[in-house]
Amino acid sequence: MALTIFLEGMAEKVLDIEEKVECPPAKKAKLDESSSENNDSIHEKEVNLSTFEMKRILQNNTYRKQICIEGIFKGHECPAVVVLEKKNFPMEELFLKRGFFNESTILRKLYTNDVYGNYECFPTREYNGLNTIVIHPATPKHIDKFIKKELHIINETYELYEKVVSPYIKSMDTFSLKWIDNILEGKAEQENIIYQDKDKDVGFVLLTDLKWDKTLSTLKLIALPYQNITCIRELNETHLPLLKNIQKAGTEAITEKFGIPASQLRLYLHYQPSYYYLHVHFSYLMFDTPGIFVEKAHLLSSVISNIELIPDYYKKAVLSFVVFKGDLLFKKFQEIGILEKDNEQTETTEAES
Ligand code: G7M
């Protein structure tokens, strides 16, 4: 599954990049003349990774077991990005036998202690493959997309929400929420709806998430209320009937349709979300879907309980979340001194004043 997500992300990354390649001037002129006929592309011949001269590691993701490297292929002037990712294990006994529990498998002992033995295993060649993506010629935008961005945590009080995040949300283009209007108005994705309750106060639409690959083991749905609520910060006791309805009716609908019991579902909200129209995520508990980390996910059961205990809980609580260095929200927190300005910016500001 990690692979599916990786490839999806990769496709998004590759697809939304439409920039000219940053090559040396002579090569650039050649490319500009005929961008479709790219003479420098290494994909036309067999790619030999031993000719890849590494320039820098853009990202080494130990969670995904993935490395992204920028470099140059010998004899080619334009930069390239190579992404290597370890594969998932097969589920079928036959393939596990062929690849790992095989006479050709090598097991090297590292050390033992009591009942524990630590070994290094070398599976058979066919099962030792890596998913590999080579982007060439790579644009600066491609390269930038693969650079791991620095993360910073914000411990947001309600005052900070009002001062920074709320104006930031209001300044956003509402066009980004058009897909939600379309679903609620019956103009799109009606075939993806699992459950619908049209009550304007407690009603919602439960439908498949865009990212779900339709495999039960990675089940991923979202509930969109008819009530327009910006985000978790706006929730109070008046929303309890809605939240409880989503929790109960949404879960029951999933159990009925997919046979997954309530005890195996994870119901949560994001803060900060990508879309500022309150929605609840439903995912299969045994699927470690991205976005379930403590700095982003809020269990629906906890949200309900918090409001039951303190009706204006979300106007009082400190909510923590991460921002990516360079993103707009990051800059907004920099502007008011919550996040440090980097040296370059400090120098410019000082020189200007
Ligand atoms: O991070 P946030 O909590 O805002 O998550 C938004 C969710 O909405 C993600 O899981 C997306 O995959 C999902 N999503 C985004 N879009 C644009 C669509 C869409 O057009 N249709 C559906 N069904 N889900 C979407």
Domains by residue range for the chain, with CATH: 1-87+129-148 (3.30.200), 90-128 (no CATH), 149-330 (3.30.428.10)
The finding on whether 274 has its CB within 6 A of some atom of ligand 1 is yes
* Lowest-confidence pick of 14-18, 246-250, 264-268: 14-18
Per-residue pLDDT, averaged over 70-84, amounts to 95
- Percentage of residues of the chain with pLDDT beyond 70: 85
CA of 212 from ligand 1 middle (Å) equals 10
The finding on whether 210 has its CB within 6 A of some atom of ligand 1 is yes
* Lowest-confidence pick of 30-34, 98-102, 289-293: 30-34
Residue 195 has phi, psi (to 5 degrees) of: -155, 145
Per-residue pLDDT, averaged over 260-280, amounts to 97
As a whole number of angstroms, the distance between CA 257 and CA 192 comes to 12
Statement: residue 330 has pLDDT above 50: yes
Given 3-state DSSP classes, what are the helix, strand and coil percentages for the chain, each rounded to the nearest 5?
A: 40, 25, 35
- Which residue in the list 76, 142, 239, 279 is annotated as catalytic? 279
Q: What is each CA distance from 169 to 132, 173, 203, 254, 273, in whole angstroms?
A: 38, 9, 24, 32, 11
The finding on whether 181 has its CB within 6 A of some atom of ligand 1 is no
Q: What is the pLDDT of residue 255?
A: 98
Per-residue pLDDT, averaged over 314-326, amounts to 96
Statement: residue 62 has pLDDT above 70: yes
Q: What is the pLDDT of residue 12?
A: 37
Is 239 a residue of the active site? no
Indicate the average pLDDT of the chain: 87
Confidence of residue 118 (pLDDT cuts 50, 70, 90): very high
The finding on whether 222 has its CB within 6 A of some atom of ligand 1 is yes
Statement: residue 33 has pLDDT above 50: no
Statement: residue 109 has pLDDT above 90: yes
Per-residue pLDDT, averaged over 4-19, amounts to 38
Confidence of residue 24 (pLDDT cuts 50, 70, 90): low
CA of 179 from ligand 1 middle (Å) equals 9
Burial class (CB in 10 A: 0-12, 13-18, 19+), 204: buried
Half-sphere exposure of 52 (CA within 13 A, CB side): 23
The finding on whether 27 has its CB within 6 A of some atom of ligand 1 is no
User: Which atom of ligand 1 lies nearest, measured to the CA of 182?
Assistant: 20
Confidence of residue 80 (pLDDT cuts 50, 70, 90): very high
The finding on whether 194 has its CB within 6 A of some atom of ligand 1 is no
Residue 105 has phi, psi (to 5 degrees) of: -70, 135
Confidence of residue 344 (pLDDT cuts 50, 70, 90): low
Ligand 1: which of 221, 275, 276 to mutate, most ligand atoms within 8 Å of CB?
275
Statement: residue 4 has pLDDT above 70: no
Statement: residue 3 has pLDDT above 50: no
Statement: residue 11 has pLDDT above 80: no
Residue 166 has phi, psi (to 5 degrees) of: -60, -50
Q: What is the pLDDT of residue 316?
A: 98
CA of 274 from ligand 1 middle (Å) equals 8
Per-residue pLDDT, averaged over 17-37, amounts to 44
